Amino acid sequence: MFFKTFPKTLYTFNLKDESPKAVTNIFSRFRMKTDVINNAYAMYKYQLQDGDTPEIVAFKEYADPTYYWIICYANDLLDPHFDFPLSRDALEKKILSDYGYTSISQAYSANHHLEMVVTSTLSQVNGPTTTNVEKFIITDDQYDNTSNTLTTFAPSSSSVTFYANNADPTSAVIATLSVTRVENGVKVYDYEDQLNESKREIKLIKSEYVPLIVDELQSVLNG
């Protein structure tokens, strides 16, 4: 259905052929003007299952697999094969290819990067305790592979005490801030698996708005 709406163009398959054929111009470019794609009410979230393709999702949600292009349009997909989450088998094959491994066990043992988890806990006297957790990727210039140590960070834990009168440390304690830092190695397999899973939630256009999209596509390409 998608390419049926594209305009035709004359094309000669043989330079000696004086009878050019009308073929679909699949290189036509267009931009939709509809506001549907920016209307949160017109969209809903969908969790992809293993094996889902744009055609399968279009059949499930719109009862028409030829509306696969609407799935791609709503999510700005350029390569549905890799922009959709891969099955476990396909993911492992991709890892082996991308990293040049001979066994998937190598992906379980090798670090993709180091991650620093910083936990800050503020305990107020006669008040609430709040905890904040932040994660940071440790770059190569912050880590010494030879000594297996971080080179630019403070000790792994520290604390600061706040007084009623900070100029007088003998005054009453009103709060304590404790900060701990832990470095973790993120394995290649875990990194690629998390990246793959992050693609599982997509947006879909509600079925009642689909005719508007189809009509506009036909108008843009044939108008």
Residue 160 has pLDDT above 50, yes or no: yes
| Neighbouring C-alpha atoms within 13 Å toward the C-beta of 2 | 18
Higher-confidence residue: 212 or 120?
A: 120
Helices 210-222, 68-75: crossing angle, 10 deg rounding: 90
d(CA 113, CA 188): 8
- Share of residues in the chain with pLDDT > 90 (%): 45
Residue 25 has pLDDT above 60, yes or no: no
pLDDT in tens, 43-57: 899 999 988 999 999
pLDDT in tens, 58-77: 999 999 999 998 898 888 88
Res 56: pLDDT: 95
Question: Of 182, 184, 185, which Cα lies nearest the Cα of 112?
Answer: 185
Helices 54-62, 68-75: crossing angle, 10 deg rounding: 110
Q: Is 175:123 a contact under the CB 8 Å cutoff? A: yes
Q: Where are the beta strands (DSSP E) in 84-128?
A: 111-124
d(CA 201, CA 184): 27
pLDDT in tens, 93-139: 999 999 999 999 999 999 888 888 999 999 999 999 999 999 988 87
Q: Is 15:171 a contact under the CB 8 Å cutoff? A: no
Domain ranges of the chain: 3-85+200-222, 113-189
Measured between alpha carbons, how far is residue 45 from residues 71, 200, 206 in Å? 12, 10, 10
Res 114: pLDDT: 86
